[in-house]
Structure 1
Amino acid sequence: MNLRRFSVGLLVFAALLVAGWLTYRPDRALRSATTAVAQMICAKTFVSGLDPQTTFAETMERPGLRRLRAVMRYRVEPDMRYVDASLLGLHVSRASYHDGLGCVSMQGQKPPYVPHSDVRALRASVPPPALPEVAAAAPVEPADPALKAALDHAFEEPASPPFRRTKAVVIVKDGRLIAERYAADIGVDTPLIGFSMTKTVTNALLGIMTRQGKLSPGIPAPVAEWRDARDPRHDITIEQLMRMTSGLALDETNSGFDPSSQMEIHRDMAAFAVHAPLIAPPGQRWAYSSASTQILARIIRDAAGGPEQTIALAWRELFGPLGMRSATLQFDGSGTYQGHANMLASARDWAKLGLLYLADGMAGDRRILPEGWVAMSATATLDTDYGAGLWTNRSPHVHAQGRARAGIPPDAFFAFGLLGQRLVIMPTQRMVVVRLGDAVDPDGDIRGVARLVREVIAATEASATAARSP
């Protein structure tokens, strides 16, 4: 009898173990970790030109990865231009570099689709920028002692972890770069990864296609898998995807177990995301979701006519007019650009993106985004401090109010990315501030960014007052 009970108990335990494995799929979480490491080392080595050993050390300090540091391994093949990452030889992930297109993750048995685009030729063929250049080639070191002090503070490091690791700071006021500074291995032209700041690039491409009449925020999202009117996802709009209120089960936690993390291990990220079920009526529930933005990237790709046409659109209508010559979109294995994250650009070029939004969608005398697009994008969603591809202080949310109290103006809005990537757009100050780095504290060095903004505003206002004095 005892043996029978033991056997039944063992079977129940085994069934629970299998059910837990099938539900949580720890193998996928581990593969998402090696994929992230391979992608990061590949991009920073072959696009940014940084040291892979330093990149690996800094990457493994990220929450969710640091527990795997002792068993994570990587290998860089400089001649073949790829990076492998594994956990003691298991769950191997590979990312391969392609000129002008960054690094593509190799997922599954089928080779990735790499767009047949000569990005160098595209860069050379676009007309001169419509946005005036913000500075000469040499780094701009401010003469104002107060601005110098603000930069000093932005690069200060605490005596013990978590370290801030500021890589670049750029400050543009009235269209002119007034101060910038870079870490020792970074230069004016070094492309730096923006993580989720890329969502604002996706916002811009949607705005461009709206201006062209090819898409519109209010229409049902043109997703083939949802075309059946009986599908409960059929009526999800583009704007609901932009605002992350689609109601899809795509909540993001960066745990490795969440859909947005596991999306990364699929050759076609959007194809994985669009199969998520509804867990709430569209428009009524907000949850941060990179997977929602990746669906938008596929919508852009399809409306443009394919991967190559998407690249041409980005250069002809966005990067070219803004003079963002270092911009590097990266792609998944299906030929869809990673619209949710991982674009690289120099700090100056990220600032130029901010200038587009500061000028209400204009680059010089050329309209890039439709009238009203910026205001719509910076308007808070439900009871959050998130807009439609931008974070915003134009909200009663506690985070927005906290940033305002810390010195970031109430009308400011932002592109934010993992590890403290910050693009701060301040219309009342006619100013854009960029901070890029590898901060691993939970707040992404937002307090340091707030101090930087506060001190820069004080310095520029004091300078303006002095200039007006007789």
Structure 2
Amino acid sequence: MKRFKKILGYGFIVIIGLLVVAIFWNYPKLTILSGYSAKNMASSVFIGNRSVEFTDINDNNFAPVNLADDQVNMTKKSAVASVFGLNERKAIYREGLGSVVIDDDFDENASYLIPNRSKIKTNLPFPYGDLSQKDTVFSAVDYQKIANMVSSVFDKEGESIQKTRAVLVIHKDQIIAEKYADGLDENSVLLGWSMTKSILATNYGILQKQGKIDINDKAPIKEWEDDERKEITISNLLQMNCGLEWDEDYGSISDATTMLYLDKDMTKPQIYKEAIHKPNEYWYYSSGVSNLLSGVLREHFDSYQEYLDFPYREFIDKIGMHSMLIETDMAGNYVGSSYAWATVRDWAKFGLLYLHKGNWNGEQIFNPEWVDYVTTPTATSEGDYGGHFWLNAGGFYPDAPKDMYSANGFQGQRVFIIPSKDLVIVRFGLVGDAGVDFNRFIKEITEAVK
């Protein structure tokens, strides 16, 4: 019996030892998990106006993020998360700037600037105004086929596979299909994740039209002036073929996760990476590049207020995307890689702006040539990527039109733009290609439009 107890004692010590080792090796990961959970919770509650319970059941309900426990302070507009009581992280919400996960040095009581917004209502029907759209029926559209396809990508009662939250289909500026999951509707504000990259890039198209920037110029990064990186152009950054080292892995402690959940200034990490390829020789997707571009954009203006105002003044509010909010990091930079929120209908307006080659109800927001630029395949991307937009030129979706291009985001957020069919299709969800057959989805809808 004593020997048995002794063996049990050794076993207990071994288990404790293994737990200590496991915690030691995973401690940094827990910090990132806590940061993700707190940030997502704060944004869902204070931007999306959803409950803590709804966010726990939906947005934060996937492994390993669901290991985190969140506490929300409605009065102070903050969220605190920890994993097994360890690595507590805090995110705060600031009106006009969204939510940000903060560190111990951040001064929550400091004053801050916010973007100036112009939300003028117009007496025009959707999409150009706030009135209901005109009652139009297209004889060349098979509405039932589209409705069936849209319904098929939503989970049936008791299922949790496709996790589609919303679908909107627009043809010739008219909504021809629209559906939402329970708890959401046309007023729900949803996170676009990396669709924000396409929002960011649009600022460069506008500056190009205004003659205030040339994307073929060398990137104005002082840290690159004395080495081979000085040859990198703004276009190389937009096309993500700058050749810089970067690790875009969301399942580990990587450049991307460290940037989003630990770094104070998200415009800096990509700057300090080495060149491992020459520009235009190697395509690699990098959220670091997008945030670097946000920093380049900020440096273009004489004041921080001008930087904050520019995207809203020059196109977001101008085309009536009044629900959109782009969140900032601790240093006040727009997180151009990941954090834009808007209703599905407002995301659709963004797609329509590109479908109409930058023309919004008679006003040219950016030149038509900008669309040609963002839809030209980046060298070595196999026809899959352009200027901060995803392409189907290489046939990634073999049964979808080759002229289709899209803003894509984590968990299957999509704004598909299909010029040959005069279509914009928006899909939001909590699972991407693993849950939804986008090839069939696009094929069925486009075939229903003759």
TM-score interval, normalised by the smaller of the two chains: 0.7 to 0.9
Q: Which moved more, 1:312-321 or 1:287-296?
A: 312-321
Q: Contact 1:114/1:335 (CA < 8 Å) preserved in 2?
A: no
Name the amino acid aligned to 2:221: V
Q: Distance in 2 between matches of 1:452 and 1:297?
A: 33
Q: Distance in 1 between matches of 2:111 and 2:44?
A: 19
Q: Distance in 2 between matches of 1:432 and 1:299?
A: 30
Of 439, 447, 450, the match for 1:458:
447
Report what 2:47 is aligned to: 47
Of 329, 334, 338, the match for 2:331:
334
Q: Contact 1:103/1:330 (CA < 8 Å) preserved in 2?
A: yes
Q: Contact 2:217/2:234 (CA < 8 Å) preserved in 1?
A: yes
Q: Contact 2:125/2:131 (CA < 8 Å) preserved in 1?
A: no
Q: Distance in 2 between matches of 1:310 and 1:109?
A: 24
Once the two structures are superposed, the pairs formed by residues 44-193 of structure 1 within 5 Å of their partners are: 44-62=44-62, 66-67=63-64, 69-70=66-67, 72-111=68-107, 115-117=112-114, 119=116, 122-124=117-119, 132-133=127-128, 136-137=131-132, 144-157=143-156, 163-193=161-191
Q: Which has the higher helix share?
A: 1
Q: Distance in 2 between matches of 1:69 and 1:165?
A: 16
Please state how far the C-alpha of 1:438 moved relative to its aligned partner.
0.8
Q: Distance in 2 between matches of 1:93 and 1:99?
A: 20
Report what 1:360 is aligned to: 357
Name the amino acid aligned to 2:152: H
Q: Distance in 1 between matches of 2:230 and 2:26?
A: 32
Please state how far the C-alpha of 1:458 moved relative to its aligned partner.
3.0
Of 404, 410, 414, the match for 1:418:
410
| 5+ residue gaps, structure 2 | 1-21
In the alignment, structure 1 residue 201 sits paired with structure 2 residue 195: no
Name the amino acid aligned to 1:38: A
Q: Structure 1 residues 26, 210: closer, same or farther in 2, change over 3 A?
A: farther
Q: Which moved more, 1:150-159 or 1:262-271?
A: 150-159
Aligned to 1:415, the other structure's residue is in SS state strand
Name the amino acid aligned to 1:102: G
Q: Distance in 1 between matches of 2:111 and 2:374?
A: 31
In the alignment, structure 1 residue 391 sits paired with structure 2 residue 386: no
Q: Distance in 2 between matches of 1:337 and 1:317?
A: 16
Q: Distance in 2 between matches of 1:61 and 1:324?
A: 29
Q: Distance in 1 between matches of 2:290 and 2:28?
A: 21
1:197-248 deviations in whole A, cap 9, x for unaligned?
A: 000001101111111222222111112333x3x2332221111111111221
Instruction: State the identity as a percent.
Output: 26
Aligned to 2:397, the other structure's residue is in SS state helix
Q: Distance in 1 between matches of 2:125 and 2:392?
A: 29
Q: Contact 1:191/1:346 (CA < 8 Å) preserved in 2?
A: yes
Once the two structures are superposed, the pairs formed by residues 306-325 of structure 1 within 5 Å of their partners are: 306-325=303-322
Q: Distance in 1 between matches of 2:51 and 2:286?
A: 31
Q: Distance in 1 between matches of 2:434 and 2:349?
A: 22
Q: Structure 1 residues 137, 308: closer, same or farther in 2, change over 3 A?
A: farther
Q: Distance in 2 between matches of 1:158 and 1:189?
A: 23
Aligned to 1:354, the other structure's residue is in SS state helix
Name the amino acid aligned to 1:272: P
Aligned to 1:266, the other structure's residue is in SS state coil
Of 417, 424, 428, the match for 2:420:
428
Please state how far the C-alpha of 1:53 moved relative to its aligned partner.
2.5
Q: Structure 1 residues 298, 125: closer, same or farther in 2, change over 3 A?
A: farther
**TM-score calculated relative to the size of structure 2:** 0.86
In the alignment, structure 1 residue 211 sits paired with structure 2 residue 206: no
| 5+ residue gaps, structure 1 | 1-20, 396-400, 462-470
Q: Contact 1:29/1:256 (CA < 8 Å) preserved in 2?
A: yes
Of 273, 277, 282, the match for 1:285:
282
**TM-score calculated relative to the size of structure 1:** 0.82
Q: Contact 1:249/1:276 (CA < 8 Å) preserved in 2?
A: yes
Q: Structure 1 residues 29, 375: closer, same or farther in 2, change over 3 A?
A: farther
Q: Distance in 2 between matches of 1:212 and 1:346?
A: 29
Name the amino acid aligned to 1:256: S
